Structure 1
């Protein structure tokens, strides 16, 4: 009977911890929605390196655990359908619908656009520096004469 009592008490402790975890995740979800954002998702690291928790419904992504409805989150937690993945990987998985996927797709596209612009600017600056190094004023004056310039002036 003592072993049975210990097992029952252990099960009570496990259930209390699970309930506390559920409440903490629900609170985090509400607070995150109040802030009006999911996560920053502003850099390449945010979308391609940092993993996020995603709620799944029947094996399809329903959204970030901090944004999905309480019912969807509860169902995902009960079925152990919470998945850790980067935004990049999550966008390649099947979603419950396009509306749920859209904010992450837009954030991903915005980050890629900004990174591409930064790379193009850096490339243009490097080309300008390379051209300046090749065509210093002394080099240009030595190789080329100004047209219609009078001799002796």
Structure 2
């Protein structure tokens, strides 16, 4: 009977571990989905055009509704403190703390840096194209005027 009891207790421990593992996987999957939605702040439209829902606490941004904890979200929903705004506008509002604001600030800064780099590259490509067109064979006319050439007048 002792062996049977030990085996049953071992089976209970195994089932508890399996249940905890399943719960942890479910939690991780749910968090990954939430973070995946918020981590897609990768384009200028994502931060400056597309409105997002923000949970507010005492008039301050507590975070995106998809990533705040359940208690904050429940309280915001009960009070009607859910605000629609772009990331750009939300970053200009007061936040509950800097740590909560930081991931959105970094995402916004990364998008702006990427956009600025793309604009610089496009400008450089246009300048190169303009220079190529200007210096291409046949593009130079034989009638090039010298702006400061000396003119001799025949009398």
- The question of a shared fold, defined as TM-score above 0.5 by the shorter chain, is answered with yes
Q: Separation in 2 of the partners of 1:39 and 1:32?
A: 14
Kindly provide the CA deviation profile for residues 63-110 of structure 1, in whole angstroms up to 9, marking residues without a partner as x: 000000111001101111000000000000000000000000000000
For 2:28 and 2:77, how far apart are their aligned partners in 1? 16
Q: Quick one: structure 1 residues 78 and 139, their matched pair in 2 at CA, closer, same or farther if it must change by over 3 Å?
A: closer
Maintained 8 Å contact 2:133/2:139: no
Q: Give the alignment partner of residue 34 of structure 1, picking from 22, 32, 35.
A: 32
Instruction: Work out the CA distance in 1 between the residues paired with 2:110 and 2:29.
Output: 25
Q: Any conservation in 2 of the 1:53–1:85 contact (CA below 8 Å)?
A: yes
Residues 122-141 of structure 1, C-alpha deviations (whole Å, 9 max, x = no match): 0000000101111124567x
TM-score norm. by structure 1 comes to 0.68
**Partner residue in 1 for 2:116:** 116
Please state whether the residue corresponding to 2:54 is helix, strand or coil.
strand
CA-based RMSD of the aligned residues comes to 2.1
Task: After TM superposition, give the deviation of residue 33 of structure 1 in Å.
Answer: 1.8
Q: 1:134 to 1:54 in 2, by over 3 A?
A: same
Runs ≥4 residues deviating over 3 A: 29-32, 137-140
Counterpart Cα distance in 2 of 1:139 and 1:53? 56
TM-score, with structure 2 as normaliser: 0.68
Gaps of 5+ in 2: 1-26, 145-155
1:80 aligns with 2:77: no
Where do residues 1-153 of structure 1 align in structure 2 (5 Å cutoff)?
A: 33-35=31-33, 36-37=35-36, 38-138=38-138
1:28-51 CA distance string (max 9 Å, x none): x98652334324111000000000
User: How many residues are matched?
Assistant: 114
